[in-house]
Amino acid sequence: MRRPLIAGNWKMYKTITETRHLVSELVPGLQAVNGVEKAICPPFTALLAASALLEGTDIRLGAQNMHWESSGAYTGEISPMMLAELCHYVIIGHSERRTYFGETDETVNLKIRAALKQSLTPIFCVGETLRENEAGRTAEVVSRQVREGLKGVDLMLSGDFETELVIAYEPVWAIGTGKAATSEGANMVIKDIIRPALAEQYGVDLAQAVRVLYGGSVKAENAHEFFHAPDIDGALVGGASLKSADFIRIVQAAAKG
């Protein structure tokens, strides 16, 4: 059984002061939910403040991005070594990074390799645009992103049948638009495209062990629909993760399955 994971991507929201307030609201409600792994991914500036408030809880901390080099003359960048002192997860290849900042399958691959070397668990994002979806290219695009993003990446199953990688399927046309995919459609992409692409490289057992989240306008109102689908192992939540009551309700929905 794959343990559900709900990760909140705060994007470019929340100051340090606002982060302390939101985390303080989140902790009691999230701690009360069992059987679900919880994580929040604040902006870089707020990671230290969030880390202090999460100490002693079972809530994981993640970052939203990183550079693939461990150090160097890369003004404005954050290295995996810097994140490893604070974070368990790091989001890699989010569609907004690909769209606005020129990230490619090649740079995503470099980042995944670098994250794993520092024992960070990548939340590796894949997904097609609306144009690609309407052109019937979902399988082509998503399978390519999986293959190229994981090229040369060694993954292993642990004794408890977990891997050091999480994938998030986020159809680009459903991010920040309020238009979510159907649970059936998202489950189909994961079951028939993402897991087979993983199986080609790592075998069926590992492909079945990797947790694959859904990302794209997940709300408290529609969360249960997605979590009821057998191949969806949780969610990468955007806007709803900025509201404590909504995020807690989404985590509670994941616990119910």
Give the per-residue pLDDT at 130: 87
Q: Using CA atoms, how far apart are residues 186 and 166, in angstroms rounded to an integer? A: 16
- Count helices and strands in the chain by DSSP H and E runs: 12, 8
Q: pLDDT tens-digit profile of 10-61?
A: 999 999 999 999 999 999 999 999 999 999 999 999 999 999 999 999 999 9
The angle subtended at Cα 158 by Cα 167 and Cα 149, nearest 5°, is 30
Percent of the chain with pLDDT over 70: 98
Q: Which of 37, 94, 103, 128 does the annotation list as catalytic?
A: 94
Per-residue confidence band for 146, with pLDDT thresholds at 50, 70 and 90: very high
To the query of whether residue 94 is one of the catalytic residues in this protein, the response is yes
Give the per-residue pLDDT at 159: 61
- Residue 199 has φ and ψ, to the nearest 5°, of -65, -35
Q: Range of 197's domain?
A: 5-256
To the query of whether residue 96 is one of the catalytic residues in this protein, the response is no
> Using an 8 Å Cβ cutoff, are 8 and 241 in contact?
yes
CATH number, domain of 71, equals 3.20.20.70
Averaged pLDDT score across all residues of the chain: 95
Look at the chain and report how many structural domains it folds into: 1
Helix (H) / strand (E) containing 184:
helix 183-189
Per-residue confidence band for 156, with pLDDT thresholds at 50, 70 and 90: confident
Q: Which of 37, 96, 128, 170 does the annotation list as catalytic?
A: 170
Give the per-residue pLDDT at 161: 60
Q: pLDDT tens-digit profile of 238-252?
A: 999 999 999 999 999
